[in-house]
Amino acid sequence: MTEQEDQLNQLEQRIIRAWLDNDRETVNAILADDWTVIDPSGRVLTKAQVMEEAFESRTRKIEAGTIDEVKVRTFGDFAVVTGRTAAAGSYCRTSLSVTLRFTDVCVKRGSDWQVVASQATLIA
């Protein structure tokens, strides 16, 4: 594993821990200000929308989660990271447990990587 691959795998592990720990500062630092995500239903959500759901209204709560099967492809200061997330929690007060395949597009800014776009697909 290259140093960049290790950094990006650690980034994925840091963000799942941050969601679990309700660590707004870490999530905010990892996700670029213009980050968007395409969720499993096909909605495009902005960082502001996700942060509001997770930290203000608490509409979105992740209570357990892991990320594995991480694969990293780097292209200079850009990278495509894919993996699998297993998570449990609630959305709009409905309990759920999901397994997802994800793709994160990352860019290196200075010495740090940030996620600029994400997409998640439910695994049946």
Domain tally, the chain: 1
The first and second tokens of residue 78, run together, are 């850009």
Looking at residue 10, the DSSP 8-state letter turns out to be H
Per-residue pLDDT of the chain (124 residues; tens, 9 = 90+): 899 999 999 999 999 999 999 999 999 999 999 999 999 999 999 999 999 988 988 888 889 999 999 999 999 999 999 999 999 998 888 899 999 999 999 999 999 999 999 999 999 8
pTM: 0.92
DSSP states of 43-66 as a string? Answer: -EEEHHHHHIIIIIS--EEEEEEE
Q: Which domain holds residue 96?
A: 3-122
Q: Tell me the CATH number at 104.
A: 3.10.450.50
Smallest CA-to-CA distance from 114 within 6, 3, 15, 1 is with 15
* CA dist., res. 117 & res. 35, Å (int): 5
